[in-house]
């Protein structure tokens, strides 16, 4: 039987990953977007006390297997986060549930290395020079999706007609999904980005800037965070998230500062968290420390309930808040979180940020 | 110079080691008193709400020492074996503490990474000792004493002559388990098993019910190829105990423990495969004593009934 590879839904990374696999000549299966059903499956197949990303990902894997995937790319790898261990358990459970699938771990701590390894596994002995083109395509895709998304996150705050940006964004994503190779991408790139940029902004509208820090899975999964980014955008907030597929940051900074963002973030964060405790904790606190220096009006820290590395980051944020006086909203998400509670807290936080800004003049 | 040691987390693993070390350097160790409700409440004021109960108690024990000591000993335990990994909270412990409490005394915060054999422990002890003594002979003495204490403690615990509850008492403390009782494995991290406040005197209650509790440190040498640094305390110990023919398994975990959330699944598998009944006790600051007592009695009754059948 032919190999049919599935990649779990994870922001636009899955879109880029699938296009890449197709460019390699591999057949792909697109699992349905994370939904209530995904959660129900995940809860059934996971230990009770494990965090919600582990549960949702397991649901994604099952749904991918149901769609006929023969190979599933699993996120995990030995960091210090629970995902490092849960993948082994999840792979075994898939077998126990009767899904005869091959599982491949994408180690989040060693993405380039594992990208190479998985490419070799999927490309079935094709010579290396034939792989150069698909890899260039993947990098181009990640760059493009990054740019699209960061533009959208900022543009929503100033849209004149509600939903205009999201319609343009959806149209742009369709174009991205249809790209076949690097040549097409280079030709259409500007047009695609233009789709979102063409939405007429309201230049006079006062907007706030809020930085999103915390666990990347939570930030990238609208089902889990109740569409937080869109809701913030429609409240007139420009959203800057720390996590980007290519590691770039989208703040309007001179390019010199933008280049060494990662290194500067590590240095800024080491004041609050010296040791690498796994997950995204150190990156979170580093970015938060940089953003707190006047780049944003406030920070929102997002984490799954009881995320081990992020509870460490949350403690470090307490110190940041104390020293820098930057407002921080902590939001944690699990299967019990409802949209109403999130909306109320977001509205209160945004109101408070406006009050702070008015007082500071 | 008085050095404060919170009676929490790694106290229950490494206290005799540190005690021997600092004793040779002529420093006085001050251990916080046994856990009580006031300490828990003090801890709750500082800890992030979502963290686990042992962490919250750790903060409480630190509060009990602030103002009474000149320095605090808060090691960061990174790794115990190559390829293994520790809980994020235990690795980041000194950072966490500094971030949440502005009025701390200076911290002695060595990084413990035992993945490169015992030599790592030596160098770390030197790291922790260098600020206190310039004399290399004294330091060498202290390190050797610490290493001896580490091994002697493990041996004594394996033979049942000492439990972590008795670490700071000169005579140690004997395990309360009756020798001819019903053998039941009680697996969990030592800070969950040996702090009577956190588990409502679980071990004493079991002894009174006629249960011979086999705890992880009694079960002997632990395999070192686990992913989580302290995985052997749950899964490894449960496996060894099943080989010895225990009649029941009790897993004691804290609510919100990252690694244990996943390891519990492994213990459930072991229990299913071997047919030995399992009871899971999840501890948090809301767990009441009455519920625990009822469940324990019912579980032990069930084990006796199975034995009689």
Mean residue pLDDT of chain A comes to 88
pLDDT score of B127 = 77
pLDDT score of A268 = 87
**Does the structure show a pLDDT above 80 at B123?**
no
Do the beta carbons of residue B20 and residue B153 sit within 8 Å?
no
Do the beta carbons of residue A34 and residue A223 sit within 8 Å?
yes
Looking at per-residue pLDDT, the higher value among A262 and A57 belongs to A57
Residue-by-residue DSSP string for A316-349: HHHHHHHHH---EEEEEE-TT--HHHHHHHHHHH
Reading the block at residue B202, the tokens are 């679980």
For chain A, what percent of residues have pLDDT higher than 70? 94
Looking at per-residue pLDDT, the higher value among B22 and B159 belongs to B22
Q: Tell which of B58, B75, B234, B261 to mutate to test the A interface (max A CBs under 10 Å).
A: B261
Looking at per-residue pLDDT, the higher value among A32 and B83 belongs to A32
Could you tell me which of A259, A245, A190 has the C-alpha nearest to residue A20? A245
Q: Which value, in Å, is the radius of gyration of the alpha carbons in chain A?
A: 20
Phi, psi of B97 (to 5 degrees): -65, -45
pLDDT digits (tens, 9 = 90+) for B69-121: 999 999 988 777 666 778 888 888 999 898 889 899 999 988 887 766 666 66
B74: left (phi over 0), alpha (psi -120 to 50) or beta: beta
CB interface of A with B, residues 50-69, below 8 Å: 50-51
Position A256 confidence tier, pLDDT thresholds 50, 70, 90: low
Q: Which residues have C-beta within 8 Å of that of residue B49, sequence separation ≥ 6?
A: none
Q: CB contact, 8 Å: A76 with chain B?
A: no
Look up the CATH architecture of domain B182-308. Answer: 3-Layer(aba) Sandwich (3.40)
**Does the structure show a pLDDT above 80 at A77?**
no
How far from the centroid of its chain's Cα atoms is residue A140's Cα?
17
CA dihedral (B126, B128, B130, B133) positive or negative: negative
Q: CB contact, 8 Å: B112 with chain A?
A: no
pLDDT score of A111 = 79
- What mean pLDDT is predicted for residues A82-95? 86
For chain B, what percent of residues have pLDDT higher than 70? 90
Looking at per-residue pLDDT, the higher value among A300 and A127 belongs to A300
Taking the model in full, what pTM does it have? 0.89
Comparing A4-13, A172-181, A278-287, the range with the smallest average pLDDT is: A278-287
- Write b or e for each residue in A341-356: b if 16 or more Cβ atoms lie within 10 A of its Cβ, otherwise e: ebeeebeebbeebeee
Looking at per-residue pLDDT, the higher value among B48 and A80 belongs to B48
pLDDT digits (tens, 9 = 90+) for B96-106: 898 889 899 99
pLDDT score of A255 = 54
pLDDT score of A30 = 94
Q: Which residues have C-beta within 8 Å of that of residue A260, sequence separation ≥ 6?
A: none
Return d(Cα B33, Cα A87) in angstroms, integer: 41
Select the residue of B86, B261, B266 nearest A80 (Cβ to Cβ). B86
Return d(Cα A60, Cα A107) in angstroms, integer: 17
Position B225 confidence tier, pLDDT thresholds 50, 70, 90: low
Looking at per-residue pLDDT, the higher value among B140 and A300 belongs to A300
Look up the CATH architecture of domain B2-157. Answer: 3-Layer(aba) Sandwich (3.40)
Return d(Cα A240, Cα A209) in angstroms, integer: 7
**Does the structure show a pLDDT above 60 at B292?**
yes
Q: Quick check: do B2-157 and B182-308 share a fold? A: yes
Could you tell me which of A312, A328, A302, A304 has the C-alpha nearest to residue A242? A302
Q: Tell which of A79, A315, A319 to mutate to test the B interface (max B CBs under 10 Å).
A: A315
Mean residue pLDDT of chain B comes to 86
Return d(Cα B220, Cα B222) in angstroms, integer: 6
Cα–Cα distances (Å) from A93 to A59, A87, A90, A101, in that order, read 11, 10, 5, 11
CB interface of A with B, residues 287-306, below 8 Å: 305-306
Q: Which residues have C-beta within 8 Å of that of residue A49, sequence separation ≥ 6?
A: A306, B253, B255, B256, B257, B260, B261, B264, B282
**Does the structure show a pLDDT above 50 at B29?**
yes
Do the beta carbons of residue B253 and residue A303 sit within 8 Å?
no
Return d(Cα A237, Cα B283) in angstroms, integer: 41
pLDDT score of A188 = 94
- Chain B nearest CA to A110, separation (Å): 15
Q: Where are the beta strands (DSSP E) in B165-301?
A: 182-187, 211-214, 248-254, 278-283
Q: CB contact, 8 Å: A270 with chain B?
A: no
Q: CB contact, 8 Å: A321 with chain B?
A: no
Q: CB contact, 8 Å: A315 with chain B?
A: yes
Looking at per-residue pLDDT, the higher value among B181 and B252 belongs to B252
pLDDT digits (tens, 9 = 90+) for A155-189: 999 999 989 999 999 999 999 999 999 999 999 99
Looking at per-residue pLDDT, the higher value among A173 and A337 belongs to A173
Return d(Cα A67, Cα A75) in angstroms, integer: 19
Q: Which helix (H) or strand (E) holds A17?
A: helix A13-23
The residues pairing with A329 across neighbouring beta strands, listed in sequence order, are: A300
- Chain B nearest CA to A56, separation (Å): 15
Domain spanning A206-360: CATH 1.10.3720.10: no
- What mean pLDDT is predicted for residues B188-199? 92
Do the beta carbons of residue A133 and residue A24 sit within 8 Å?
no
CA dihedral (B113, B116, B120, B122) positive or negative: positive
Domain boundaries, chain B: 2-157, 182-308
Chain A residues touching residue B98 (CB < 8 angstroms): 319
Domain boundaries, chain A: 4-126, 136-202, 206-360
- What mean pLDDT is predicted for residues A68-80? 83
pLDDT score of A257 = 54
pLDDT score of A250 = 45
Select the residue of A47, A311, A318 nearest B89 (Cβ to Cβ). A311
Comparing A304-313, B167-176, B222-231, the range with the smallest average pLDDT is: B222-231
């Amino acid at each position: 039987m032919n190999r049919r590879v599935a990649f779990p839904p994870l922001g636009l990374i899955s879109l880029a990953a699938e296009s890449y696999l197709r460019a390699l000549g591999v057949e792909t299966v697109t699992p349905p977007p994370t939904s209530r059903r995904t959660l129900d499956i995940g809860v059934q197949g996971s230990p009770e006390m494990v965090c919600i990303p582990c549960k949702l990902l397991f649901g994604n894997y099952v749904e991918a297997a149901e769609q006929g995937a023969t190979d599933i790319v699993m996120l995990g790898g030995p960091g210090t986060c629970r995902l490092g261990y849960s993948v082994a358990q999840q792979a075994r459970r898939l077998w126990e549930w009767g899904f005869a699938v091959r599982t491949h771990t994408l180690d989040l701590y060693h993405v380039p290395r594992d990208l190479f390894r998985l490419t070799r596994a999927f490309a079935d002995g094709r010579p290396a020079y034939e792989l150069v083109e698909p890899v260039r395509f993947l990098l181009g895709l990640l760059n493009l999706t990054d740019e699209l998304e960061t533009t959208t996150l900022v543009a929503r705050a100033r849209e004149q007609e509600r939903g205009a940006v999201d319609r343009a964004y959806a149209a742009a994503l369709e174009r991205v999904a249809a790209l076949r190779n690097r040549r097409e991408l280079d030709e259409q790139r500007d047009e695609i980005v233009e789709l979102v940029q063409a939405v007429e902004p309201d230049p006079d509208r006062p907007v706030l800037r809020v930085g999103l820090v915390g666990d990347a899975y939570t930030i990238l999964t609208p089902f889990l965070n109740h569409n937080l980014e869109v809701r913030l955008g429609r409240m007139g907030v420009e959203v800057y998230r720390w996590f980007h597929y290519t590691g770039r940051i989208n703040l309007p900074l001179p390019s010199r500062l933008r280049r060494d963002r990662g290194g500067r973030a590590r240095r800024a964060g080491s004041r609050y968290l010296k040791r690498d405790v796994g997950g995204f904790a150190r990156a979170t606190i580093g970015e938060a420390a940089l953003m707190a220096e006047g780049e944003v009006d406030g920070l929102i820290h997002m984490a799954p309930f009881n995320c081990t590395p992020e509870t460490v980051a949350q403690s470090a944020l307490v110190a940041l808040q104390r020293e820098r006086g930057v407002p921080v909203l902590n939001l944690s998400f699990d299967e019990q979180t409802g949209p109403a509670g999130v909306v109320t807290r977001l509205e209160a936080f945004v109101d408070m940020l406006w009050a702070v800004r008015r007082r500071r003049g | 110079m008085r050095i404060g040691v919170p009676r929490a987390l790694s106290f229950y693993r490494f206290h005799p080691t540190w005690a021997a070390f600092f004793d040779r350097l002529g420093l006085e160790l001050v251990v916080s008193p046994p856990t009580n409700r006031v300490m828990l409440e003090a801890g709750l004021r500082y800890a992030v709400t979502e963290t686990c109960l042992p962490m919250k108690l750790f903060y409480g024990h630190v509060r009990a020492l602030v103002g009474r000591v000149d320095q605090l000993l808060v090691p960061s335990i990174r790794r115990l074996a190559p390829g293994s990994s520790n809980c994020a909270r235990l690795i980041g412990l000194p950072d966490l503490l500094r971030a949440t409490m502005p009025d701390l005394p200076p911290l002695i915060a060595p990084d413990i990474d035992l993945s490169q054999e015992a030599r790592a422990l030596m160098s770390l002890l030197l790291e922790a000792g260098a600020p206190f003594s310039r004399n290399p002979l004294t330091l060498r003495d202290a390190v050797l004493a610490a290493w001896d204490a580490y091994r002697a403690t493990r041996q004594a615990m394996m033979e049942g002559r000492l439990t972590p509850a008795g670490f700071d008492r000169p005579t140690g403390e004997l395990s309360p388990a009756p020798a001819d009782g019903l053998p039941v494995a009680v697996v969990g991290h030592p800070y969950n098993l040996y702090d009577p406040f956190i588990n409502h005197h679980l071990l004493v209650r079991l002894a009174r019910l006629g249960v011979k509790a086999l705890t992880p440190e009694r079960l002997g040498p632990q395999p070192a190829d686990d992913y989580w640094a302290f995985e052997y305390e749950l899964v490894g110990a449960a496996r060894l105990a099943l080989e010895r023919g225990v009649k029941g398994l009790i897993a004691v975990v804290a609510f919100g423990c990252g690694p244990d959330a996943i390891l519990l699944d492994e213990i459930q598998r072991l229990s299913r495969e071997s047919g030995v009944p399992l009871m899971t006790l999840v501890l948090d600051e809301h767990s009441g004593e009455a519920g625990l007592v009822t469940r324990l009695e019912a579980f032990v009754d069930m084990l006796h009934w199975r034995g009689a059948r």
